[in-house]
Amino acid sequence: MKIIRILSLTTACLVSGCAANSEVKEIEIDLVALTKIQLQELLVNHTFPFSKGGMFFESDTVATVHWDGENEDTIWYATEDSTFCYTAEVFGGAEECLGLKKTASGDYLREFEGKTIPVKASDIKEGKTF
């Protein structure tokens, strides 16, 4: 009898959950591409977070990559296609470009190697933080 009650309760939960899910709507995230100037204004004199460090943008061409305890000075540039590019030996020495778009909430989405990673605006810190 106890098993029947549990199964009935589980079935009721599943059915009510399915009914509620029929009203689920697809959510669209409005992303705004950033221009070269907007990227420079956002990044210069700020540290952009990475999973194991970050990147400090000293000027519109010079930056320092901090990764897994190592620092490396590099040259970087922003594009009109909402990306910024740099070359760092700590990442294998090949040029890397990261896409960065602004969300409706004011935060950002970083695009790299087919992955999209959320970045809170508050995580882009003024000054060099490493």
| Number of domains making up the chain | 1
C-alpha–C-alpha distance, residues 113 and 37, integer Å: 24
pTM equals 0.77
Parent domain of 64? 31-126
Q: Is residue 16 part of a domain?
A: no
β-sheet bridge partners, residue 108? 102, 119
Q: Is residue 54 part of a domain?
A: yes
pLDDT of residue 23: 54
Q: With 50 as the cut, is the pLDDT of residue 3 above it?
A: no
C-alpha–C-alpha distance, residues 20 and 18, integer Å: 5
C-alpha–C-alpha distance, residues 124 and 122, integer Å: 5
Q: Is residue 116 part of a domain?
A: yes
Per-residue pLDDT tens over the stretch 17-56: 433 445 544 445 689 999 999 999 999 999 999 999 999 9
Confidence of residue 108 (pLDDT cuts 50, 70, 90): very high
Q: Is residue 64 part of a domain?
A: yes
In this structure, are strands 125-126 and 70-78 parallel, antiparallel, or unpaired?
unpaired
Q: Is residue 39 part of a domain?
A: yes
The residues near 129 (Cβ < 8 Å, ≥ 6 apart) are 47, 54, 56
Q: Is residue 91 part of a domain?
A: yes
Q: With 60 as the cut, is the pLDDT of residue 94 above it?
A: yes
Q: Is residue 12 part of a domain?
A: no
Per-residue pLDDT tens over the stretch 62-76: 999 999 999 999 999
Q: Is residue 20 part of a domain?
A: no
pLDDT of residue 6: 37
Per-residue pLDDT tens over the stretch 109-124: 999 999 999 999 999 9
pLDDT of residue 20: 44
